[in-house]
Amino acid sequence: MADSPHLSLERQRELVSFVRQDCGSCHGMRLTGGLGPALTPDALKDKPIAALISTILQGRAGTPMPPWNKFLSESEATWIVDGLQKGFPDAR
């Protein structure tokens, strides 16, 4: 697996909270799914990394998943995908 892109610790904390809380409103705070699918390592293990990054940044047509590229850079999306596939850190 590629190294995680370098992000400041503060930004990493913000992203953990963002994923748990804001992505969590559709995917569940424990990322086990809701209106949106589960984002657990098991659910994502066979998904190509580039496709997951693209889903975060561009959204997914025909579903409620919106593009987040106004709020996240490509390296941040990469960091999130890497974290999701490894098992996402807890907010606390």
Partner 1 sequence: MDCKKVFLMRAKRKLMQKSMAIRDIISRLALPLLVTASLVGCATPTLRGTGDLGVVIERATGSVQILDTTHRSSLGKVNGLGDLSHASVSYSRDGRYAFVFGRDGGLSKVDLLTQSITHRVIQAGNSIGGAISQDGKLIAVANYEPGGVRIFSVDDLTPIADIPAVGANGKRSKVVGLVDAPGRRFVFSLYDAGEIWVADMHKPQQPILHKFTDVGKEPYDGMITSDGHFYAAGLFGEDGVALLDLWNLQAGVKRTLVQVGRHGEKLPVYKMPHLEGWATTGDLIVLPGVGQHEIILADQNTWQEVARIPVAGQPVFAIARPDNRQVWINFAFPDNETVQVLDLPSRSIVKTLKPGKAVLHLEFTPRGDQVWVSARDDNRIDIYDPETFEHIGRLPADKPSGIFFTSRANRTGL
- Interacting residue ranges for partner 1, rule: CB under 8 A: 17, 21-22, 24-26, 28-30, 32-35, 59, 61, 64, 66-67, 71, 91-92
Question: By C-beta, is 3 or 10 nearer to partner 1?
Answer: 10
Tally the residues of the chain: 92
Q: Name the minimum Å distance from CB 88 to partner 1.
A: 13
Residue 35 burial by CB count (10 A; 0-12/13-18/19+): exposed, middle or buried? exposed
40-to-7, 73, 82 alpha-carbon distances in Å: 22, 22, 11
Question: By C-beta, is 6 or 92 nearer to partner 1?
Answer: 92
